[in-house]
Amino acid sequence: MEILRYAAFSDEPGGGNPAGIVLDAGDLDDATMQRIAAAVGFSETAYLTPTGPGRARVRYFAPIAEVAFCGHATIATAVALAERAGTGRLTLDSAAGVIEVGTVAGAGGIVATLVSVPPRVSEIPDDVAGALLGALRLTSAELDGALPIRVSYSGNHHPIVGVPLSVLDRLDQDQRALAALMAEQGWGATVAVVAGTGVGSDGNAEFEARNPFPPGGVREDPATGSAAAALGGYLRALRLVDPPARITVRQGRHIGRPGVLTVDIPAGAGGIAVSGRAVPML
């Protein structure tokens, strides 16, 4: 069995979000997959079991628990597979549903694109929102009123909290309190704390994000594909973009692993596309 290590949403091994990858996990049981994920120590390790031409079952394990869906490990897996078997389309059957993935070769290397399950966005009761802000050590006065708190589902439930960039830069959550709240609410992935940072040179709206990940035993995730898809669904549901639209999400700067996620938001109610590169880690 070969355990690969790739950094997703970066073209440098020291950037983006590291993922473990096992391309043929058909012989591994749950306990072994969990043990490997803990030993690898990245926020997720993906396990692929081929089930037919262009199709595979995928499972994702954080260091302390299995998660339904992981965007960055999907991107890393798709690039690793394309490097060995060629680019093209891949259908992944995950616990969250069917994830369609495509890879193309470009001048800078292979780019992978995943399409999430159709997102769902819902409001958070006031008392739960208050508890969330308390766990994040934020006050209502520090929020960005243009980005109201919601939960957005993209295969995982991601609370989305909008703040100015100056507030994002000093985020210092109470990890234990946040873990307890997320377990109580059934939020099994990250909290996406985001700041709108204007329009980039390509004309696309840009956001910066930080993603605490208590359910996975990780203080802060460097680049979160699932949360980026959730953000795209959130922006569409709240009519904060005019689809079809593209946004850029930057993440990981605060913990020394900067990454870039490209999010394409189609019209309608379908899945959100998240694209990026991935490179082997030495």
- Amino acid 282: pLDDT: 77
- Amino acid 275: pLDDT: 98
- Amino acid 45: pLDDT: 97
How far separated are the first and last CA of the chain, in Å rounded?
Answer: 18
- Amino acid 87: pLDDT: 96
Of the pLDDT bands very low, low, confident and very high (cuts 50, 70, 90), residue 1 is confident
Residue 155, sorted as left (phi over 0), alpha (psi -120 to 50) or beta, turns out to be left
Tokens representing residue 233 in the block: 């669904």
- Amino acid 3: pLDDT: 96
Answer yes or no: is pLDDT of 278 > 90: yes
- Amino acid 22: pLDDT: 97
Exactly one of 12, 44, 66, 83 is catalytic; name it: 44
Once rounded to an integer, what is the mean pLDDT over residues 85-106?
95
Answer yes or no: is pLDDT of 107 > 90: no
| Active site annotation includes 66 | no
- In three-state secondary structure terms, 132 is helix
Query: Full-prediction pTM beyond 0.85?
Result: yes
Domain with residues 4-115, CATH architecture: Roll (3.10)
Once rounded to an integer, what is the mean pLDDT over residues 222-239?
97
- Amino acid 199: pLDDT: 87
d(C-alpha 225, C-alpha 272), whole Å: 10
Q: Which CATH class name applies to 120-280?
A: alpha beta
pLDDT tens readout for residues 16-34: 999 999 999 999 999 999 9
CA pseudo-torsion sign 167, 169, 175, 178: positive
pLDDT tens readout for residues 3-19: 999 999 999 999 999 99
Compute φ and ψ for 110, nearest 5 degrees.
Answer: -80, 135
Fold: same for 4-115 and 120-280: yes
Instruction: Please report, for the chain, the start and end positions of each structural domain, with discontinuous segments joined by +.
Output: 4-115, 120-280
Answer yes or no: is pLDDT of 156 > 80: yes
Once rounded to an integer, what is the mean pLDDT over residues 197-219?
91
- Amino acid 140: pLDDT: 96
- Amino acid 201: pLDDT: 77
